[in-house]
Amino acid sequence: MADDRFHVYDTTLRDGAQQEGLNLTVADKLAVARHLDSLGVGFIEGGWPGANPKDTEFFRQARTELDLKHAQLAAFGATRRAGVKAADDPLVAALRESGAPVVTLVAKSHDRHVELALRTTLQENLAMIRDTVSHLRAEGQRVFLDAEHFFDGYKSNPAYALEVLRTAAEAGADVIALCDTNGGMLPDELADIVHNAVQTSARVGIHCHDDTGCAVANTLAAVKAGATHVQGCANGYGERSGNANLFTVVANLQLKRGFDLVPQEALGDMTRIAHAITEVTNVTPNSHAPYVGMSAFAHKAGLHASAIKVDPNLYQHIDPAQVGNDMRMLVSDMAGRASVELKGRELGYELTPEHTKTLVERVKDLESKGYTFEAADASFELLLRDTVHGQRRRHFEVESWRVIVERTKGGELVSEATVKVHAKGERIVATGEGNGPVNALDKAVRQALEQLYPDLAKLELVDFKVRILEGAHGSDAITRVLITSSDDTAEWATVGVAENIIDASWQALEQAVTYGLLRAGHETA
């Protein structure tokens, strides 16, 4: 288990799962737990057994299917009901029987919530805390307590909020996490309250929501004020604006404050873990997330590129490799010679001054017409290769293509595409049907070329974005299409621009196929 002097506690599977649109199966939860364990967190909150069948089943399966190397599982639940002994409360029994070595109890610490939400007295709430904590401790489980609405409660009635902490600590709770449940606190005020809470002699933790955009900052402020237990969620998942992003918290504490929280090799795998969890949750990753976002170390401005060429640290706060990320140079109409040189080097090309000059001019000219290369690295690499070779080089030449969209008598829409290409000395004509014009073109070109290039069977179109650029009239405007493709090991993006959306799509599709063939090791003639 991780060092008990400071806790990294993840609540993705419970609090994070409350994010709008996020729905995890038991298998999903087991997969996310394994990823979190590989990061090296100390505790993984698995859910609320007894409150819903899915979480009960998760803990049942976890006993035999989770082989955790670093983390301990925590079962989440509430203190006993008013007027009922903890030993007789069925939800407390579910916590007892969960098999989890740690139980995290949520308890009211805001006087108004006790009286209005629990509909009981302040003294009975303290008795509920005392009875439930001591009962679970006697049953051999370690107990943490989440003091819900603590900061709002402290501002309303500080004496009672602190009494909740003292009661839980005296009953045997190892940690009391102070919860900014509504997410409304700011770092300076929060730090003052945490400092006061630490004086109660209870071990204090912090649980922050991001409604003011300060969840990570509040967490760091709490640690500076004496908290030794931090809670958060992978990728900042959670209800409303989300929870403190645990990846950002861990990276900041370990790289900026010198805490030894997770193994260095695990920290170096953080970006992969963050993205692996987005695959399980099916939530689009935030490309601008600190440390692990695809754009976290992406540079676009020509001034930045010139400095980075001399020393990458001039415009980067850490070496991206420390968290498993990479520096990326974005090529756009803002690019200067340094940007293009660095991007070429990133792609494995040492460009001559003449190549660099030509590329800068071509990029700026094309972007003035609507192209964008910062989001289409594959298109830029093809442009770079053409510049280096002095001519356009492709695996196939297109004689023609056409698309027919037909609405049948029954109201069904059918798209049919025909492509005529020349490749390896052969003229090939192929037809494909799809659920749209682009899908039909994709099937047709692959049908034409797969007999010569079997690797194309792995190629998959995974995303398709259309943007209408400025024009005299909406329907006459220039259209830009970005296509993201995959070959099961990597993804790449290509761009097409035209007045006609199908033509723009074809440009991006043709480049996607060409780049896929290059990745498979097929050099152009």
Token pair 């003449």: residue: 354
How far apart (Å, rounded) are the C-alpha atoms in residues 371 and 364?
A: 9
Q: Residues 63-67: what's their mean pLDDT?
A: 92
Q: Residues 427-432: what's their mean pLDDT?
A: 94
CATH number of 7-281: 3.20.20.70
Quick one: pLDDT band at residue 139, thresholds 50, 70, 90? very high
Residue-level pLDDT at 462:
84
Residue bearing the bigger pLDDT, 275 or 111: 111
**DSSP-assigned letters across all residues of 409-475:** TTS-EEEEEEEEEEETTEEEEEEEEESSHHHHHHHHHHHHHHTT-GGGGG-EEEEEEEEE---SSGG
Model confidence, pTM: 0.71
pLDDT in tens, 361-395: 887 788 778 887 766 788 888 888 888 877 777 88
> 155 Cβ partners below 8 Å, 6+ apart?
193
Tokens at residue 85, please? 């002994």
- Phi-psi map region of 380: left, alpha, beta (phi>0 left; psi -120 to 50 alpha): alpha
Does residue 472 have a pLDDT over 50? no
Residue-level pLDDT at 102:
97
Residue-level pLDDT at 350:
77
Quick one: pLDDT band at residue 347, thresholds 50, 70, 90? confident
> Residue type at 464?
F
Residue-level pLDDT at 275:
85
Quick one: pLDDT band at residue 333, thresholds 50, 70, 90? very low
Q: Taking the domains of the chain in order of start, what are their residue ranges? A: 7-281, 298-389, 397-519
pLDDT in tens, 183-222: 999 999 999 999 999 998 889 999 999 999 999 999 999 9
How far apart (Å, rounded) are the C-alpha atoms in residues 71 and 30?
A: 13
- Which fold does the domain 397-519 belong to in CATH? Double Stranded RNA Binding Domain (3.30.160)
Does residue 325 have a pLDDT over 90? no
Within 178-336, residue ranges assigned H as helices are 187-198, 215-224, 246-251, 264-267, 270-281, 302-310
Residue-level pLDDT at 92:
96
Does residue 285 have a pLDDT over 90? no
Cα-atom radius of gyration of the chain, to the nearest Å?
A: 28
pLDDT in tens, 5-32: 999 999 999 999 999 999 999 999 999 9
pLDDT in tens, 177-194: 999 999 999 999 999 999
> Average model confidence (pLDDT) for the chain?
88
